[in-house]
Amino acid sequence: MKITTRVRRDVHNLQKSKIMIIDDTDLNIAIIMTYLKNAGFYNFERAADGVEALNKLHEFQPDIVILDLMMPVMDGFEVIRRIRSMPEFQNLPIIIQTGMSQPEQQIQAWKNGANDVVIKPIHHLELVARVNNLLKTKFLMTELEEYYSTAADDISMAFDLQLSLLPSRNNFEKIEKDNQFAIKNIFRPSRFLSGDLWGIKEIDENNFAVWLCDFSGKGIKASMNTFRLHTLITEFNDYLCEPEKFLGKLNKSLKKFMPVGSFATFLYGVINKKHNTFTYSSASSTAPIIYSHLDHSFITGDSTGMSLGVLDNVEYQSHTLSFEPHHSLLLYSDLLWESPEVSGISFEENYLFQFFSALPHDQKVYDILSSNLNPNSTYSDDLTFIEIFRLGE
């Protein structure tokens, strides 16, 4: 049921609301009840002083309180303070009614937690209007809290499902063992759900594939595309060793459902341990980097290519880089390239020269990056980083 429908239903049933009237004068209570009964309300509880009201509060569970300020035993100011000290009643609407017209006393009541004020003698239309307004607000806030609580639960479940699409540690261990590689990664969404997704797949005894995708946009809309993508990728197993054909087929399929203005950047590559190569195709992705831990040199790959989902029948190009033992392959989302302050590492080529030159032998970029990232920070975009380190022979 839509939230607007639920709120409208509750607004039309305001008369069912439970109203507590606290006043030491029976005549005042009778007048207020008469005004509200004429407006359709019927569910009342009365109290002659603050102590009696507080004793009845939990059992009656009022939706709104109408409270006199000047009463024996416990005045209205103290009643408000006591009510607001209870977590379950911190948002309970409270209207104070008083014969005091001095603004200082009204301000004091608001400071203590009152929501509204009516001045005696009470006008029936004013009272009914203020009660209706506060009840409508209360029901709306209650519905919003329920809505956001449900949405938060749904997002949490969706995020857990999205995490299940990512390669598991078991996938890593098999590929690492079979191919003499060490694989490290960082994955952090910007808004609970991510438009980034990456994967790794063993093709045969000499080849395994790795890919990284970044959908435009953020949040739920972008994350839904990652689920579609994960399903589509399994349809192109015949092209796993041909990156340019793989991207062409994937692009044609994505174009069918991608809304106008949406797109995805994508890099798909194949690591061949027999020929010591990384062959890849790019759809406007960030540039892959291969770094040598032996002499601190590095190569930045070609990242050109049309983004996925924009045009039909796009032809992509394959590129091949040398990937020897003691080399690291670095793949990363554009947040790390656009916002170096996030990780403390700039992926600009001039900075990388200085960075790699100072990197200790066999020191992983992953270790430095993960130590620089603040686990409590929220980023402006999704963050994905993958380092595949080829062990020495």
Residue 301 lies in a domain: yes
Domain count across the chain = 2
Supply the pLDDT for residue 12. Answer: 52
CATH code of the domain containing 316: 3.60.40.10
Task: State which residues form the domain around 41.
Answer: 3-154
pTM: 0.67
For 143, counting Cβ atoms within 10 Å of its Cβ (0-12 exposed, 13-18 middle, 19+ buried), the class is middle
Same domain, 224 and 357: yes
Same domain, 269 and 317: yes
Q: DSSP characters for 311-349?
A: SSS----EEEEE--TTEEEEEE-HHHHH-GGGTT---SH
Supply the pLDDT for residue 393. Answer: 64
Compute the distance between CA of residue 190 and CA of residue 124 in angstroms, rounded to an integer. 52
Supply the pLDDT for residue 168. Answer: 83
Same domain, 99 and 228: no
Q: DSSP characters for 259-280?
A: PTT--EEEEEEEEETTTTEEEE
Same domain, 340 and 362: yes
Supply the pLDDT for residue 110. Answer: 86
- Considering 104, 124, 154, which residue would you say is the last residue of a domain? 154
- Considering 109, 133, 154, which residue would you say is the last residue of a domain? 154
Tell which residue, 172, 153, 165, has the closest CA to residue 196.
165
Residue 41 lies in a domain: yes
Supply the pLDDT for residue 220. Answer: 74
Residue 312 lies in a domain: yes
Same domain, 149 and 232: no
Tell which residue, 243, 356, 339, 198, has the closest CA to residue 290.
356
Same domain, 73 and 171: no
Residues in the chain: 393
Supply the pLDDT for residue 193. Answer: 72
Tell which residue, 251, 297, 241, has the closest CA to residue 274.
241
Residue 307 lies in a domain: yes
- Considering 111, 134, 154, which residue would you say is the last residue of a domain? 154
Residues 6+ apart with CB under 8 A from 152: none
Same domain, 142 and 231: no
Supply the pLDDT for residue 132. Answer: 93
> CA 124: distance to chain centroid?
46
CATH code of the domain containing 104: 3.40.50.2300
Residue 161 lies in a domain: no
Same domain, 269 and 319: yes
Residue 160 lies in a domain: no
Residues of the chain with confidence (pLDDT) below 70: 1-12, 100-101, 191-192, 393
Report residue 108: phi and psi, to 5°: -65, -40
